[in-house]
């Protein structure tokens, strides 16, 4: 076993994976006592195993026990609206939705953090002196429940039982039950899920480079250059500070009710791609060589968008074979070896980033040698790695179990939840220690790259 490498660094920004079981890691490394009595969990939508879907969880705050049925109704309103909105409508099959009924002793939310009101997560308006900014006061309690009851969650949404307009977009997207709540939730999920910035001017303290906010005004260099001139995408200065520009004048990240602009829509689809995989299963999925008959059928079961935008190509000995999810191959007695490959990519028009499409083209390959079929290789999982513990307090460990990299070189990026790059370094051993004690509590991304693509892990800094 190679020695552990220790990486020292300092973050540039104050803040805001294959999946892992957060609950077991949480208990193992922190020894915390989580909720002794689990809260009831409602299934809003279930499309497949938690480790193969994007798992979104709703939590309640400010609902007394007798009001929790109304919480379920409020969740249904948000969920229904969520799946009416592009691109979530097209990728509905990729999501599981759950709701955890957490009762509070009192109803509503504090109108100011200094107020006295006994709700489970202590949600309050007027956070940081911004009246509409509704923020839970006890994020650790929310994380405790999520880690214990839905350890593979990808996105959490808090619904606060107060009719005043308000919300926030930290790692726990938050909305009140104002009549605009379904739209507020979508806007805040844009922050939490995809790291989108506000396209209205929120203030100097919130200005930062992000997928839909930049100081770059060169049409060839601006982040959204692929979309310029289409669907209303341009380079529009913020009137309050014209050093900063946005891509659209009427996007959901600026005002409620319009659609997400093309730039934000692409960013959301990229996030969906990063958290999912278009192949549910493939057959043969043998781990060791097996005998084959004169004919062999190769099958792949896909996770399909609506409408289906997956582009699938099959090759036998590098010659195209027309097929979608099943291919019948006859073994030639005069041929010693035969290669079978399947490539799949989501060819949606919502993506114009060619590098992203290249990194999200997945291959499954089989090799027949004489009468034997060698073990199947799934190149989407070319890097087998683990990031632990998660959540973390002081040091996160990056462990590389295996990689198909031909060069043996692995690079690692650390970013905040909004995609701001904090650190880049090479992984030079099988286990690397990364100090994170000086990070602001919140969600972060670790991306491990080789020449074939990358894998991404999310971790939470306590």
The beta strands (E) that lie in 217-309 are given as 236-238, 241-246, 279-283, 290-291, 295-302
The beta strands (E) that lie in 161-235 are given as 167-169, 172-175
Distance of CA 76 to the CA centre of its chain: 22
Place of tokens 């076993």: 1
Residues 450/426, Cβ–Cβ less than 8 Å:
no
Residues 382/453, Cβ–Cβ less than 8 Å:
yes
pLDDT for 59: 98
Q: Which positions of the chain have pLDDT values less than 70? A: 1-37, 287-288, 370-371, 374-383, 402-408, 417-419, 451-454
Q: What is the pLDDT of residues 140-182, one digit of tens each?
A: 899 889 988 998 899 999 999 999 999 999 889 999 999 999 9
Structural domain ending residue among the three candidates 129, 161, 194: 194
* Residue 191 φ then ψ, to 5°: -65, -55
pLDDT for 5: 35
pLDDT for 358: 80
Q: How many domains does the chain have?
A: 3
pLDDT for 337: 80
* pTM (two decimals): 0.79
Q: Give the list of residues 6+ apart from residue 73 with CB closer than 8 angstroms, or none.
A: none
Find the domain containing 405 and state its range.
390-461
Residues 368/361, Cβ–Cβ less than 8 Å:
no
pLDDT for 23: 38
Whether residue 121 is found in the same domain as residue 165: yes
**Sign of the alpha-carbon torsion through 91, 96, 275, 227:** positive
Tokens at 396, concatenated: 């996160």
Pairing of strands 383-388, 377-378: unpaired
Terminal Cα-to-Cα distance of the chain (whole angstroms): 30
Residues 279/358, Cβ–Cβ less than 8 Å:
no
Place of tokens 């462990």: 399
Residues 49/145, Cβ–Cβ less than 8 Å:
no
Is residue 204 one of the residues assigned to a domain? no
Whether residue 158 is found in the same domain as residue 119: yes
Whether residue 350 is found in the same domain as residue 456: no
Structural domain ending residue among the three candidates 379, 404, 433: 379
Angle at CA of residue 326, ends 325 and 327, nearest 5°: 135
Q: What is the CATH number of the domain that holds 127?
A: 3.40.390.10
Q: Give the list of residues 6+ apart from residue 432 with CB closer than 8 angstroms, or none.
A: 4, 5, 6, 7, 397, 398, 412
Q: What is the DSSP letter of 315?
A: E
Whether residue 447 is found in the same domain as residue 352: no
Residue of 67, 79, 18 lying closest to 43 (CA atoms): 79
Whether residue 333 is found in the same domain as residue 447: no
* Cα–Cα distance, 441 to 461 (Å, whole number): 5
Is residue 2 one of the residues assigned to a domain? no
Tokens at 408, concatenated: 């043996």
Whether residue 51 is found in the same domain as residue 186: yes
* Cα–Cα distance, 161 to 237 (Å, whole number): 37
Q: What is the DSSP letter of 67?
A: G
Whether residue 180 is found in the same domain as residue 45: yes
Residue of 134, 150, 55 lying closest to 102 (CA atoms): 150
Structural domain ending residue among the three candidates 359, 379, 399: 379
Is residue 231 one of the residues assigned to a domain? no
* Cα–Cα distance, 364 to 273 (Å, whole number): 17
Whether residue 50 is found in the same domain as residue 173: yes
* Cα–Cα distance, 35 to 23 (Å, whole number): 12
Tokens at 445, concatenated: 């991304």
Tokens at 117, concatenated: 């009101």
Residue of 64, 73, 140 lying closest to 108 (CA atoms): 64
Is residue 265 one of the residues assigned to a domain? no
Is residue 260 one of the residues assigned to a domain? no
Q: What is the CATH number of the domain that holds 430?
A: 2.60.40.1220
pLDDT for 1: 30
Residue of 103, 180, 96, 71 lying closest to 134 (CA atoms): 180
């Amino acid at each position: 076993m190679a020695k552990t490498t220790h990486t020292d660094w300092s973050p540039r920004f104050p803040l805001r994976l294959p999946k892992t079981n957060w609950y077991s890691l949480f208990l193992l490394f922190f020894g915390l006592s989580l909720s002794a009595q689990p809260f009831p969990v409602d299934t809003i939508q279930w499309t497949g195993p938690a480790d193969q879907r994007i798992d979104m969880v709703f939590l309640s705050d400010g609902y007394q026990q007798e009001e929790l049925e109304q919480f379920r109704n409020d969740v249904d309103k948000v969920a229904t609206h969520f799946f009416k909105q592009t691109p979530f409508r097209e990728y509905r099959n990729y999501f599981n939705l759950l709701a955890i009924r957490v009762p509070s002793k009192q109803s509503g939310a504090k109108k100011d953090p200094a107020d006295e009101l006994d709700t489970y997560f202590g949600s309050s308006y007027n956070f940081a002196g911004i009246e509409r900014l509704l923020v839970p006061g006890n994020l650790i309690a929310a994380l405790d429940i999520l880690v214990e009851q839905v350890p593979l969650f990808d996105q959490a949404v808090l619904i606060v039982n107060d009719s005043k307009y308000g919300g926030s977009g930290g790692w726990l997207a938050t909305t009140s039950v104002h009549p605009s709540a379904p739209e507020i939730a979508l806007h805040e999920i844009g922050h939490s899920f995809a790291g989108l910035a506000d396209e209205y001017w929120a203030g100097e303290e919130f200005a930062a480079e992000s997928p839909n906010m930049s100081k770059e005004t060169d049409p060839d260099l601006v982040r959204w250059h692929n979309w310029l001139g289409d669907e209303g995408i341009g380079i529009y200065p913020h009137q309050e500070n014209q050093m900063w520009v946005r891509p659209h004048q009427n996007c959901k990240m600026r005002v409620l009710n319009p659609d997400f602009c093309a730039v934000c829509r692409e960013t959301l689809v990229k996030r969906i791609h990063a958290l999912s995989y278009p192949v549910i299963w493939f057959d043969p999925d043998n781990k060791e060589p097996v005998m084959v008959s004169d004919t062999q059928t190769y099958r792949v079961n896909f996770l399909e968008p609506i409408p289906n935008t997956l582009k699938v190509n099959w090759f036998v000995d590098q010659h195209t074979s027309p097929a979608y999810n099943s291919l019948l191959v006859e073994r030639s007695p005069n041929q010693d070896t035969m290669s079978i490959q399947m490539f799949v990519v989501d060819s949606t028009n919502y993506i114009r980033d060619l590098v992203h499409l290249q990194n999200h083209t997945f291959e499954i390959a089989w090799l027949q040698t004489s009468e034997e079929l060698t073990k199947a290789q799934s190149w989407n999982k070319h890097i087998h790695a683990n990031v632990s513990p998660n959540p973390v307090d002081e040091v996160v460990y990056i462990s590389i179990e295996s990689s198909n990299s031909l060069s043996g070189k692995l690079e690692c990026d650390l970013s905040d939840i909004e995609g701001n790059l904090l650190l880049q370094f090479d992984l030079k051993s099988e286990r690397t220690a990364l100090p994170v004690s000086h990070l602001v509590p919140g969600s972060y991304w670790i991306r491990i790259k080789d020449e074939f693509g990358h894998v991404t892990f999310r971790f939470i800094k306590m």
